[in-house]
Chains A and B, each alone.
Chain A
Amino acid sequence: SQKIEQNSEALNIQEGKTATLTCNYTNYSPAYLQWYRQDPGRGPVFLLLIRENEKEKRKERLKVTFDTTLKQSLFHITASQPADSATYLCAPSYLGGRRALTFGSGTRLQVQP
């Protein structure tokens, strides 16, 4: 069965630095991958979607890469701010599937002022 791995340990960085979060998947080839942000006690919020034929996607201070050979997506936040502190979830899906997204367990990011 497909497996999605995100670093379960919290990532602590200093304000202004670039945060890099990793999402690895196995046993299938998703047609696209989404990233969501989740604050404590709230529902996830969509951030970015990247398709299998796209190497990189940017939105303001966010950048996502998608390496289908390595079966990995990297999520970057540049010039990080304390307000970026949250849990970030990756969610790959696969071509032709009616199934909804399959979420990783998320990585908690803590940006220190």
Chain B
Amino acid sequence: EAEVAQSPRYKITEKSQAVAFWCDPISGHATLYWYRQILGQGPELLVQFQDESVVDDSQLPKDRFSAERLKGVDSTLKIQPAELGDSAMYLCASSSGQGTSKAYNEQFFGPGTRLTVL
């Protein structure tokens, strides 16, 4: 069964360092999402891609976060510099994005990357 892959699963870093997370969505899925989930809360969207284009990054702290999906397949999320408040689970999800109601498709989530900033 196809799955969304993420790496690393765990990352510990010191504040002011740079970190990067990688996501490989389900093959053929045009829409890719990065979410941040703080313990005890629901996932919060950081950025949404349709193919290689960003369609929503309104919640992405652009002074320190960046995301790219150069070939419209896998994606990288970077934080530079990391801050203590960035400690969270970073989730990647993908959906097929087909049809007129493409925003309504179920999303398939990866296992996440647990980031701890010391």
Residues of A within 8 A of B (CB): 4, 31-32, 34, 41-46, 49, 89, 91, 93, 97-106
A16 CB, min distance to chain B CBs, angstroms: 29
**Is there an interface contact between A89 and B42, defined as CB atoms closer than 8 Å?**
yes
**Is there an interface contact between A99 and B104, defined as CB atoms closer than 8 Å?**
no
Extra A-B contacts (14), CB below 8 Å, given A41-B112, A98-B48, A101-B45 = A31-B104, A32-B104, A34-B106, A43-B4, A45-B109, A46-B107, A89-B43, A91-B42, A93-B104, A97-B103, A100-B48, A101-B107, A104-B42, A106-B41
Q: Compute how far the CA of A45 lies from the CA of B43 in the bound complex, rounded to whole angstroms.
A: 12
> Which of chain B's residues has its CB closest to A91's CB?
B42
**Is there an interface contact between A103 and B42, defined as CB atoms closer than 8 Å?**
yes
- For chain B, give the interface size range: 20 to 34
> Which of chain A's residues has its CB closest to B95's CB?
A100
Q: A98-B103, A100-B33, A101-B107 are in contact. Are A43 and B45 (CB under 8 A)?
A: no
Residues of A with C-beta under 8 A to B104: 31-32, 49, 93
A73 CB, min distance to chain B CBs, angstroms: 14
Q: Compute how far the CA of A89 lies from the CA of B93 in the bound complex, rounded to whole angstroms.
A: 15
Q: Compute how far the CA of A4 lies from the CA of B114 in the bound complex, rounded to whole angstroms.
A: 25
Q: Compute how far the CA of A53 lies from the CA of B108 in the bound complex, rounded to whole angstroms.
A: 24
> Which of chain A's residues has its CB closest to B105's CB?
A49
Residues of B with C-beta under 8 A to A93: 103-104
**Is there an interface contact between B103 and A100, defined as CB atoms closer than 8 Å?**
yes
Interface string of B25-51 (1 = CB under 8 A from A): 000000001000000111111001010
Residues of B with C-beta under 8 A to A89: 42-43
Residues of A with C-beta under 8 A to B48: 98-100
B113 CB, min distance to chain A CBs, angstroms: 10
